[in-house]
Amino acid sequence: MVARKPAPEESRPHDQHPSRHSSVACHGSLPGADPRERILSDDEIRLVWTKATGTFGDMVKMLLLTAQRREKVASMKWEDVSVDGTWLVKNGVKREKGTGGELVLPSMAVDILRSRPRLNSNPYVFAGRGDGYFIGWGKAKAALDAATGMTGWTLHDCRKTARSLMSRASVHPDIAERVLGHVQQGVLGTYDRHAYKEEKREALRMLAGLVESILRNDADKKVRRLRG
């Protein structure tokens, strides 16, 4: 007997689509799950947001609001952000994996940037010592863990959490992956040269809207409104 192939995502019933199952996004990773599958629960997001302060705290919040890698957030320069809040997430010398490109930041993220001090001697938004950017991840993360009592999570989990929240907010998977900067495979990646700037703007707006609802503890109502 030939095993039946699972139905493609687009043809699955509404309640069977992976992005429709919000229990993991609401409550974090399931008990005993692979650490690579770890995401923050709503309660953990509220706790981290409350306890994360200073330069490191602002960076953690930006990780949740942009779904970008920590190195890209840390190395953000003032010159990379336009007046209207568009952040050009630059690649390095070689093509790098997981870079979102040109992102129009949601107002929550722009407010964080506007609250940051701008130093004449340092070009970075999240300034470190001298003319470099913040690199004290380990010590700051340990202090945040102590303040929250949370264990078993990494800063990269913020990126996975943001991606999961986009699914929960009904952002189309293709657009969410483009926000993360994941390379599109096959013919689509070769021939589709559209920048998707407006689509990514809307995705980040929806992500920020859900984060804001989580912080108010009414995220379930927000998701129901989004899905009609």
Give dist(CA 49, CA 14) in Å, integer.
32
CB 63 within 8 A of CB 70: yes
pLDDT in tens, 19-40: 433 444 455 654 455 666 899 9
Listed in sequence order, the DSSP H helices in the chain are 23-27, 42-51, 54-66, 70-74, 107-115, 137-148, 156-168, 173-180, 186-191, 197-216, 219-227
Using 50, 70 and 90 to split pLDDT, how confident is the model at 3? Answer: very low
In a domain, 6, yes or no: no
pLDDT in tens, 111-163: 999 999 999 999 999 999 999 999 999 999 999 999 999 999 999 999 999 99
In a domain, 160, yes or no: yes
In a domain, 207, yes or no: yes
In a domain, 32, yes or no: no
In a domain, 171, yes or no: yes
CB 211 within 8 A of CB 45: yes
First CA to last CA across the chain, in angstroms?
41
Query: SS3 helix, strand, coil % of the chain, rounded to 5?
Result: 55, 5, 40
pLDDT in tens, 46-75: 999 999 999 999 999 999 999 999 999 999
Q: What is the percent of the chain with per-residue pLDDT over 70, rounded to a whole number?
A: 72
In a domain, 130, yes or no: yes
pLDDT in tens, 87-97: 999 876 455 55
The reply to whether the predicted model has a pTM over 0.85 is no
User: What's residue 29's pLDDT?
Assistant: 54
CB 222 within 8 A of CB 168: no
Residue 7 has pLDDT above 50, yes or no: no
Instruction: Please tell me the total count of domains within the chain.
Output: 1
User: What's residue 188's pLDDT?
Assistant: 61
In a domain, 28, yes or no: no
pLDDT in tens, 152-195: 999 999 999 999 999 999 999 999 999 998 866 665 655 666 88
User: What's residue 194's pLDDT?
Assistant: 83
In a domain, 31, yes or no: no
User: What's residue 190's pLDDT?
Assistant: 59
**Structural domain that includes position 130:** 38-227
The CATH number covering residue 223 comes to: 1.10.443.10
